[in-house]
C-alpha cells in the first residue's frame, strides 16, 4: 500500500484541489483535513482535524463516526419498509403482517400510556408468587427464555470440541452495570459516582412501582449485584476459549452447586436430557453464586428479580417509565442527553425480533448486486495476500505454516445476505400487545436455538442481519461475514478508485480474516474445533509480539485516569494491525504488476492509509468512553487509527516519517505480525 514518499509541503499543496473533484475520483474528503498539523506528527488530526472541530455528537447518540453515520443513513430506508407494512400488513401470519404489527404496537403511545406498569403485571405476579428459593432455577430459566437479565444465561452454539454438533453453554450474567469494576473499584471517583447513581436509579424505579421500602431494596440489590461481581471472571479471563470451555455432565452439575435444582432449570428451558453435558464458562462463578444464593434472603432475591424485570421491560412501557430508565442508562451511564425518537427505537426492536425478515426486504430494495460481485473480488485478493503472507512469516515455524495454510483454505466468506432466510412462521405478533411481542420474540429465538440440539450444525446460518453496520469472524465456523449495509461509503465506495477502498473495506476484510490467527482465533482449527496446532516455539514468538502490543496500547489514555486495557483489546488490535498490512499487500496484488497510480497529488499508499483513517474517525462522549474501556474488546477509535499505523513499515515510507516526527516509532519497537 505504500511505495512513494510525500512531504508535508506537497500534501498541503494537494489540498488546494476542489473537494468534490477529489471525492469523485479518490473517495478522499479533503474538506476535513487540518493542514496546520503535519501528518508526520498526528495523522488523525491532519486528515480529520476539521471534522473533529466542527462535528457535534447528536444529542441522542453516545458517539459519532462512520459506523453511526451509515446506520443513520439506513434507518429511513428501513422505516419506509416497516411503515408500508404497518399500513398494509397483508395476510395474517405473513412476515409483512408481523413486521407491520410489531411497529404499530411500539408506536401506539396511547395504549402504552393506558397500560403503564400493568403491561408487566403477569411477570410481576410470577415473582411475587416465589415462596421458596428452590423455585429460583425455574424462574431464571423463564427469564433466560423471555430475555430478562438473570444471574446466568444460556447459549446454544457449536461445540468447540466437536464442530459437528451443538451444545448448551451456561455463562455468568446478572449485573446492571457494564462491568464488575463499576462495583469493585472503590478508589475510582467516576465509577463510584456511577454506582451511587445506579442505586438511586433503582430506588426511583422501585418507588414508581409502589415499593414503600424502595431505598432499602435498592441498597440490598446493589449489595447483591456487588457480591455477584466479586465472584465473576474478568473480561480478560473470559477471552480465553480454553479456560471457558468446561464440560460438566448433567449428573455432575450438583458438584458445582450442591442442592441447586438443575433438573428444574433444564426442564424449564426445554433442554431436558437433549445433551449429555453442559459447557460451563466460569465454574467458580456458579460455585460462588450458590454460596450467595444461600446467604441472601428470598425477599432480596425477589426484589432483585423485580428490578431486573423492570429494567428490561421499561423501554416498552409508558413514557414515564421510558424516561426514568433512560435518565440513568442513557444520560448517567453513557452521557447521552436525549433518547432516540420512538420510530428509531421501534426499528431497534424490529431488527432484534424480525431481523432477517426485514433484511430480506432491505436487500431486495436497496442492495445492488454489483456491490456483492466487487466485494467477492476484494475478499479473494485479501485471502490471496494472506496465503502469500503466511509463507513469509519469520516467527512461524514451517509445520505451523502448513497448518495455517490449511485453515486459510477452509475460510468461508459470506457476503451481503444469507443463502436461506430464517423462518418466522412460529412467531406470533399482535398489534395490541407490545410487551407480549417482545417476550414472545425472545422466547421464539430461545426455542429456535434449543431445537438445534441433536441436529447437524447449520453452516449457512448468519449471526448478523444484512442491515447491521458491522462484520465478524466466527472461529467455530471459520467464516468471515460482511452484511450488505456495510458495502457502501465510506467503507466501500463503488465510485472511488481501489486504493481508498482497500484502506477502508479492504482493511475490514483483512481484520476479520486475521481474527482466525489472533490470540483467540488461532486456538481453533479450520473445522472450528479448539485444537492447539502451534508448536511451542510459535507460541513463544507470538507471545513476545503480542506482549509488546499489549504494552503499546496500555500506554494510551483517552480519559484521564483510564487507560486502554491492552489484554482485553489484544485480539482486535492484532486484527487491526494485521488487517491493514495485508490490505496493502492485496491492493498491490490487484494491480497485476502495473504501477500504482498517483492521483490528485497523492500516491496510492497515501490514499490507502487515508481511507483507513476516514472510516475510523470518531467522537465519543467521556462516559461512553469509560464504558468502552471497561467492557469493550475494541480500543477507542483514535488509537485504532494511530496505534495501528505506527506499526506499519510502509506507512513511514508513504509519508516520509523520520526520527523526530511525533508519529515515529523506532523499527525495533514496532509490532509487525503479518
Assign residue 308 the CATH number of its domain.
1.10.1380.10
601 and 661, same domain (yes or no): yes
Instruction: Say yes or no to pLDDT of 20 above 80.
Output: no
Q: Which of 292, 315, 334 finishes a domain? A: 334
Calpha distance 104→9 (Å, rounded): 58
Domain that holds residue 311: 118-334
DSSP annotation of 596 reads: P
409 and 474, same domain (yes or no): yes
Instruction: Say yes or no to pLDDT of 15 above 70.
Output: no
Residue 602 CA from chain centroid, whole number: 34
- The b-or-e profile of 561-600 (16+ CB within 10 A means b, else e) is ebebbbbbbbbbbbbbbbbbbbbbbbbbebeeeeebeebe
Q: Among residues 306, 293, 246, which one has the least CA distance to residue 121?
A: 306
30 and 131, same domain (yes or no): no
Calpha distance 457→95 (Å, rounded): 26
pLDDT of 312 = 98
Instruction: Return the number of other C-beta atoms located less than 10 Å from residue 518's C-beta.
Output: 23
The contacts of residue 220 (CB under 8 Å, 6+ apart) are 300, 303, 304
User: Any idea what the Cα angle at residue 305 is, between residues 144 and 287, rounded to 5°?
Assistant: 70
Q: What pLDDT band is residue 25 in, cutting at 50, 70 and 90?
A: low
More confident: 414 or 14 = 414
Residue in the block written with cell 436430557:
273
Rounded alpha-carbon distances, angstroms, from residue 490 to 16, 29, 443, 551: 22, 10, 37, 31
376 and 328, same domain (yes or no): no
Instruction: Return the number of other C-beta atoms located less than 10 Å from residue 166's C-beta.
Output: 22
Calpha distance 592→608 (Å, rounded): 17
Its pTM stands at 0.93
**Could you give phi then psi for residue 656, rounded to 5 degrees?**
50, 50
> How much is the average pLDDT of 593-598?
94
User: 530: which strand partners?
Assistant: 524
DSSP annotation of 278 reads: E
Calpha distance 82→67 (Å, rounded): 22
The contacts of residue 321 (CB under 8 Å, 6+ apart) are 116, 117, 208, 310, 314
User: Any idea what the Cα angle at residue 320 is, between residues 319 and 321, rounded to 5°?
Assistant: 90
Calpha distance 445→352 (Å, rounded): 10
> How much is the average pLDDT of 468-478?
96
479 and 602, same domain (yes or no): yes
pLDDT of 19 = 29
265 and 394, same domain (yes or no): no
pLDDT of 14 = 27
Structural domain contains residue 38: yes
Instruction: Say yes or no to pLDDT of 469 above 90.
Output: yes
Share of residues in the chain with pLDDT > 90 (%): 92
Q: Which of 316, 334, 352 finishes a domain? A: 334
> How much is the average pLDDT of 533-552?
94
Q: What pLDDT band is residue 496 in, cutting at 50, 70 and 90?
A: confident
CATH number for the domain that contains residue 32: 3.40.390.10
Residue 404 burial class via C-beta count within 10 angstroms: exposed 0-12, middle 13-18, buried 19 and up: buried
Residue-wise pLDDT tens digits, 289-337: 999 999 999 999 999 999 999 999 999 999 999 999 999 999 999 999 9
Structural domain contains residue 94: no
Residue-wise pLDDT tens digits, 415-446: 999 999 999 999 999 999 999 999 999 999 99
42 and 124, same domain (yes or no): no
316 and 374, same domain (yes or no): no
261 and 400, same domain (yes or no): no
Q: Among residues 452, 477, 451, which one has the least CA distance to residue 462?
A: 477
Structural domain contains residue 100: no
Residue-wise pLDDT tens digits, 349-367: 999 999 999 999 999 999 9
Euclidean distance between the first and the last CA atom of the chain, given in angstroms as a whole number: 14
The strand ranges marked E within 425-507 are: 472-474, 479-483
Calpha distance 642→553 (Å, rounded): 10
How high is the mean pLDDT of the chain? Answer: 94
How many CA atoms does the CB half-sphere of 616 hold within 13 Å? 27
pLDDT of 24 = 40
pLDDT of 2 = 33
Structural domain contains residue 647: yes
290 and 413, same domain (yes or no): no
Instruction: Say yes or no to pLDDT of 22 above 80.
Output: no
529 and 383, same domain (yes or no): yes
> How much is the average pLDDT of 336-343?
98
Residue 414: strand, helix, or coil: strand
How many domains does the chain contain in total? 2
DSSP annotation of 339 reads: P
Residue 158: strand, helix, or coil: strand
Structural domain contains residue 439: no
Structural domain contains residue 437: no
The three cell numbers locating residue 343 = 420510530
Instruction: Say yes or no to pLDDT of 497 above 90.
Output: no
Structural domain contains residue 3: no
266 and 143, same domain (yes or no): yes
Calpha distance 535→512 (Å, rounded): 24
Structural domain contains residue 654: yes
Amino acid at each position: 500500500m505504500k511505495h512513494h514518499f510525500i512531504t508535508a509541503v506537497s500534501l498541503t499543496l494537494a489540498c488546494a484541489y476542489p473537494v468534490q473533484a477529489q471525492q469523485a475520483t479518490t473517495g478522499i474528503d479533503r474538506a476535513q483535513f487540518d493542514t496546520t498539523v503535519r501528518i508526520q506528527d498526528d495523522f488523525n488530526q491532519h486528515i480529520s482535524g476539521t471534522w473533529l472541530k466542527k462535528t457535534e455528537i447528536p444529542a441522542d447518540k453516545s458517539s459519532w463516526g462512520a459506523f453511526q453515520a451509515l446506520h443513520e443513513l439506513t434507518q429511513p430506508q428501513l422505516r419506509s419498509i416497516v411503515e408500508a407494512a404497518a399500513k398494509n400488513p397483508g395476510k395474517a401470519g405473513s412476515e409483512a403482517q408481523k413486521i407491520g404489527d410489531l411497529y404499530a404496537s411500539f408506536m401506539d403511545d396511547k395504549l402504552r400510556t393506558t397500560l403503564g406498569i400493568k403491561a408487566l403485571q403477569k411477570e410481576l405476579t410470577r415473582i411475587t408468587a416465589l415462596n421458596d428459593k428452590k423455585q429460583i432455577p425455574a424462574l431464571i430459566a423463564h427469564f433466560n427464555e423471555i430475555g430478562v437479565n438473570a444471574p446466568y444465561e444460556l447459549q446454544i452454539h457449536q461445540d468447540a470440541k466437536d464442530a459437528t454438533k451443538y451444545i448448551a453453554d451456561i455463562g455468568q450474567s446478572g449485573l446492571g452495570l457494564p462491568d464488575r469494576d463499576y462495583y469493585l473499584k472503590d478508589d475510582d471517583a467516576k465509577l463510584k459516582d456511577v454506582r451511587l447513581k445506579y442505586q438511586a436509579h433503582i430506588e426511583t424505579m422501585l418507588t414508581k412501582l409502589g415499593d414503600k421500602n424502595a431505598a432499602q431494596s435498592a441498597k440490598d440489590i446493589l449489595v447483591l449485584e456487588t457480591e455477584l461481581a466479586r465472584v465473576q471472571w474478568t473480561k480478560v479471563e473470559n477471552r480465553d476459549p480454553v479456560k471457558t470451555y468446561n464440560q460438566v455432565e448433567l449428573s455432575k452439575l450438583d458438584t458445582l452447586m450442591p442442592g441447586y435444582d438443575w433438573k428444574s432449570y433444564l426442564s424449564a428451558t426445554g433442554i431436558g436430557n437433549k445433551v449429555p453435558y453442559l459447557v460451563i464458562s466460569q465454574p467458580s462463578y456458579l460455585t460462588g453464586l450458590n454460596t450467595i444464593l444461600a446467604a441472601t434472603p428470598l425477599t432480596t432475591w425477589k426484589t432483585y428479580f423485580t428490578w431486573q424485570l423492570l429494567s428490561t421491560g421499561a423501554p416498552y412501557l409508558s413514557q414515564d417509565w421510558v424516561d426514568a430508565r433512560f435518565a440513568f442508562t442513557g444520560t448517567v451511564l453513557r452521557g447521552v442527553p436525549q433518547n432516540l425518537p420512538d420510530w428509531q427505537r421501534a426499528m431497534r426492536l424490529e431488527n432484534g425480533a424480525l431481523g432477517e425478515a426485514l433484511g430480506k426486504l432491505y436487500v431486495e430494495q436497496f442492495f445492488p448486486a454489483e456491490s456483492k460481485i466487487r466485494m467477492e473480488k476484494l475478499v479473494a485478493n485479501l485471502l490471496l495476500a494472506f496465503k502469500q503472507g503466511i509463507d513469509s512469516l519469520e516467527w512461524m515455524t514451517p509445520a505451523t505454516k502448513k497448518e495455517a495454510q490449511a485453515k486459510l483454505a477452509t475460510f468461508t466468506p459470506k457476503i451481503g445476505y444469507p443463502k436461506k432466510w430464517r423462518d418466522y412462521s412460529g412467531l406470533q405478533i399482535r398489534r395490541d400487545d407490545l410487551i407480549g411481542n417482545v417476550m414472545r420474540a425472545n422466547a421464539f429465538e430461545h426455542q429456535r436455538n434449543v431445537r438445534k440440539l441433536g441436529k447437524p450444525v447449520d453452516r449457512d446460518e448468519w449471526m448478523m442481519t444484512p442491515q447491521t453496520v458491522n462484520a465478524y469472524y466466527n472461529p467455530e465456523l471459520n467464516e468471515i461475514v460482511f452484511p450488505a449495509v456495510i458495502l457502501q461509503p465510506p467503507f466501500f465506495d463503488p465510485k472511488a478508485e481501489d486504493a481508498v477502498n482497500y484502506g477502508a473495506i479492504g482493511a475490514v476484510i483483512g481484520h476479520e480474516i486475521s481474527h482466525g490467527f489472533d490470540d483467540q482465533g488461532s486456538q481453533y482449527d479450520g473445522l472450528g474445533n479448539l485444537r492447539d496446532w502451534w508448536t511451542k516455539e510459535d507460541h513463544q514468538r507470538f507471545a513476545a509480539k503480542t506482549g509488546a502490543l499489549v504494552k503499546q496500547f496500555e500506554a494510551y489514555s483517552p480519559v484521564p485516569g483510564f487507560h486502554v486495557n491492552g489484554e482485553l483489546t489484544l485480539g482486535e488490535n492484532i486484527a487491526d494491525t494485521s488487517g491493514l498490512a495485508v490490505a496493502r499487500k492485496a491492493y498491490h496484488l490487484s494491480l497485476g504488476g502495473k504501477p500504482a497510480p498517483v492521483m490528485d497529488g497523492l500516491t496510492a499508499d497515501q490514499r490507502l492509509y487515508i481511507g483507513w483513517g476516514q472510516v475510523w474517525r470518531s467522537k465519543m462522549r467521556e462516559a461512553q468512553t469509560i464504558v468502552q474501556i471497561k467492557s469493550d474488546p475494541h480500543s477507542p477509535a483514535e488509537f485504532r487509527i494511530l496505534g495501528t499505523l505506527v506499526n506499519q513499515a510502509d506507512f513511514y515510507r508513504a509519508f516520509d516519517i523520520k526520527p523526530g516526527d511525533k508519529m515515529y516509532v523506532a523499527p525495533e519497537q514496532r509490532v509487525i505480525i503479518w
